[in-house]
Structure 1
Amino acid sequence: MSLNLKSLFDFLKSNPSEQDCIGYFEKRRWKDKVISPFDPNSKVYKCANNRYKCKNTGKYFTVKTGSIFRNSNISLQKWFLALYLLSTDKKGISSCELAKKLNITQKSAWFVLHRLRYISNLPEFKVMLGNSVEIDETFIGGKNKNRHRDKKAPHCQGRNWKDKIPVLGIIERDGNLITQTIPNTKQETVNPIIRANVKEGSNVYTDEWYRHGDLYKNFNHQIVNHSIKQYVNGNASTNAIENAWSHLKRTIIGTYHQVSKKHLQRYLNEFTLRFNTRKHSEQERFDLVLLSSVGKSLSYKELCKISI
């Protein structure tokens, strides 16, 4: 079985059945040999209703077992459409919109999207960045002029800790992006994260916020001074990471409108996935996320218990 994932029109035109989706997932997950999630060395018997039996353990399983789709009453056909829409739409899709498209409740759609965001944190992109790397932080939250007067801060420039969430961004030029929520933008908080994700000796470009730090000890650190309206200083600039922030904020403002501090990192994972797979075809991105669902699980109770 194959899916036509060149466009949404082609995806809907092919209109795969539930059995087609099960067959597609089985082919991608197991290739030509079904493997028991309970004992990889066990012989497997094929049973009715897309079930299999593990000989060594006596347990039954399906292709959903041991994946993010386990114990879900939502059909795999709807999961596939949700995954396609989330991974291909440049600004994501809201739970209200997805609920209408899948004919499910908004609560179910919200949970579906968060489980897909959960598996979007792919290990393929957890690699050390190098060569030329830009670093900057941004603050997610409302504009100062729109705040309640108790929260307004004179000359704030967006750095109000009452309702803003700081996010660190590290991007390799023409390469991958890393985004991470942080408690603050102090040097002692940010610098260890940078050293853990950037190869020593790389060219690191930042704005003047980092001018008093010690990045020069591990990297070729160069600065652009935005306070004097300097945006390019030789090879130094933060234009690439600023472009990423622009796309992120348009995604939040245009689609989600607001996000909570509790779940922001998952929205960042979703955005970072699309950014880092910008050169992938829709088919490649779909398969990449689909395979990442194996070995993952997230219950509704676990999702709601996440602490901040």
Structure 2
Amino acid sequence: MINPNIKSVFELTQTFSTEQDCIEYYEDLRWNGIVVSPFDPTSKVYKCKNNQYRCKNTGKYFNVKTGTMFENSKISLRKWFLAIWLVTSHKKGISSMQLAKDIGVRQATAWFLLQRIRACFGIENNNELEGIIECDETFIGGKNKNRHKDKKVPHSQGRSFKDKTPVMGMLQRDGKMNAFVVPDTKRKSIQPLIHKYVKPETTQTIITDEWWAYNGLSKHYDHRIIDHSKKEYVSLQDNSVHTNNIEGSWNILKRSVSGMYNHVSRKHLQKYVDEFVYRFNLRKVSDQEKFRYLLSNSNIRTTYQELITV
């Protein structure tokens, strides 16, 4: 396995100075010396010229990019690798305009690359959480006047999001986070996600605010509540009971969306949330490992038509 020690953009460009360098590295990373046909994993594979392979059972030809986000892309792997490094190493992400300048492509091309890369970020957004879990929702987009009570909307009107998109999150103390775009902040939208990712047998405590959609969690978990309507942000009885960590993470997400991307449509918001979660969960990992991890899980292909279809 080729395992170069890369610590900077300069070292990345030096390590992958040719397209063949990229192909050989990606082949090692994806197949680890044993080429597998994407059409029939049980088939014998024949090596052909120009980095092509043929699947014996199906007779089809393929290469290392087949079935991945790189498939049918006219952009070189050298530029793809540089784009992945820049996206995963930047703490707040990178805009398509900036990426276009950095790798020398049109802005529309850079946007397409970014969307394909973001489609792979979901690998870090399905963690089973345990221990002490903080749960909360936030709203992306729109104006402050549409937020719920502690976010400037009275409870009597419910949690309004006429011009906002709700995102529900679960954060394990000193651990990982999951976050998902939801249609609303009702119990039927929130609690199934909690039950899916937070197992009662491995959970010590779930902490939420007083929003009614969390009612009933005490049947399955040790459910502690922070009542924001009473200006309570840390429990007076136990200072470990609070949702400050996940609320702080929402600030990072919002600054990223508003500061870096300006506007994100509801259709694509989950991809940006996945990107945020990926970066948050790997915040203590080196840039090289973030780069390798994404490349190792790049077998998700997104077509341009899928991206532009409403």
Q: What TM-score does the superposition give when structure 1 sets the normalisation length?
A: 0.90
CA RMSD of aligned residues (A): 2.3
Contact in 2 for aligned 1:135/1:241 (Cα 8 Å): yes
For the residues of structure 1 that align with 2:8 and 2:120, how far apart are their CA atoms? Answer: 23
**1:179/1:156 Cα in 2 relative to 1: closer, same or farther (>3 Å)?**
closer
Contact in 2 for aligned 1:144/1:153 (Cα 8 Å): no
Q: Deviations over 1:85-131 (max 9, x none)?
A: 11111111111111111211111111111111101111x65232121
Instruction: Provide the secondary structure at the position in 2 that maps to 1:66.
Output: coil
Q: Deviations over 1:42-88 (max 9, x none)?
A: 33222222112223322221110121111111111111111111111
Which shows bigger deviation, 195-204 or 95-104? 195-204
Q: Which residue of 1 aligns with 2:302?
A: 298
AA aligned to 2:296 is: L
Q: Which residue of 2 aligns with 1:157?
A: 152
Does the alignment pair 1:207 with 2:209? yes
For the residues of structure 1 that align with 2:102 and 2:23, how far apart are their CA atoms? Answer: 21
Contact in 2 for aligned 1:211/1:223 (Cα 8 Å): no
Q: Which residue of 1 aligns with 2:138?
A: 138
Q: Which residue of 1 aligns with 2:53?
A: 52
Q: Which residue of 2 aligns with 1:65?
A: 66
Matches within 5 A, 1:42-191: 42-122=43-123, 126-144=126-144, 157=152, 160-191=160-191
Contact in 1 for aligned 2:210/2:226 (Cα 8 Å): yes
For the residues of structure 2 that align with 1:144 and 1:42, how far apart are their CA atoms? Answer: 58
Alignment equivalent of 1:275, drawn from 264, 280, 285 = 280
Distance apart, 1:210 and its partner CA: 4.1
**1:54/1:134 Cα in 2 relative to 1: closer, same or farther (>3 Å)?**
same
AA aligned to 2:136 is: D
Distance apart, 1:9 and its partner CA: 3.5
Q: Which residue of 2 aligns with 1:229?
A: 231
Q: Deviations over 1:152-191 (max 9, x none)?
A: 9999726542211111011111111111111111223212
For the residues of structure 2 that align with 1:300 and 1:212, how far apart are their CA atoms? Answer: 39
For the residues of structure 2 that align with 1:154 and 1:298, how far apart are their CA atoms? Answer: 39
Contact in 1 for aligned 2:125/2:179 (Cα 8 Å): no
Distance apart, 1:261 and its partner CA: 0.7
Structure 2 stretches lacking a partner, 5+ long: 154-158
Q: Which residue of 2 aligns with 1:148?
A: none
Which shows bigger deviation, 108-117 or 11-20? 11-20
For the residues of structure 1 that align with 2:213 and 2:140, how far apart are their CA atoms? Answer: 23
Contact in 2 for aligned 1:3/1:16 (Cα 8 Å): no
AA aligned to 1:288 is: Y
Instruction: Provide the secondary structure at the position in 2 that maps to 1:134.
Output: strand
Instruction: Provide the secondary structure at the position in 2 that maps to 1:263.
Output: helix
For the residues of structure 2 that align with 1:211 and 1:161, how far apart are their CA atoms? Answer: 15
Alignment equivalent of 2:245, drawn from 222, 237, 240 = 240
Aligned residues: 299
Distance apart, 1:36 and its partner CA: 1.9
Distance apart, 1:3 and its partner CA: 4.2
Instruction: Provide the secondary structure at the position in 2 that maps to 1:199.
Output: strand
For the residues of structure 2 that align with 1:156 and 1:35, how far apart are their CA atoms? Answer: 52
AA aligned to 2:292 is: D
Q: Which residue of 1 aligns with 2:267?
A: 262
**1:252/1:25 Cα in 2 relative to 1: closer, same or farther (>3 Å)?**
same
Distance apart, 1:217 and its partner CA: 0.8
Q: What TM-score does the superposition give when structure 2 sets the normalisation length?
A: 0.89
AA aligned to 2:164 is: K
Contact in 1 for aligned 2:139/2:147 (Cα 8 Å): no
**1:181/1:211 Cα in 2 relative to 1: closer, same or farther (>3 Å)?**
closer
Distance apart, 1:253 and its partner CA: 1.8
Q: Which residue of 1 aligns with 2:156?
A: none
AA aligned to 1:100 is: K
AA aligned to 2:219 is: K
Instruction: Provide the secondary structure at the position in 1 that maps to 2:264.
Output: coil
Contact in 2 for aligned 1:3/1:11 (Cα 8 Å): no
Q: Which residue of 2 aligns with 1:220?
A: 222
Once the two structures are aligned, what percentage of the paired residues are identical? 48
Q: Deviations over 1:27-53 (max 9, x none)?
A: 101111222222323332222221122
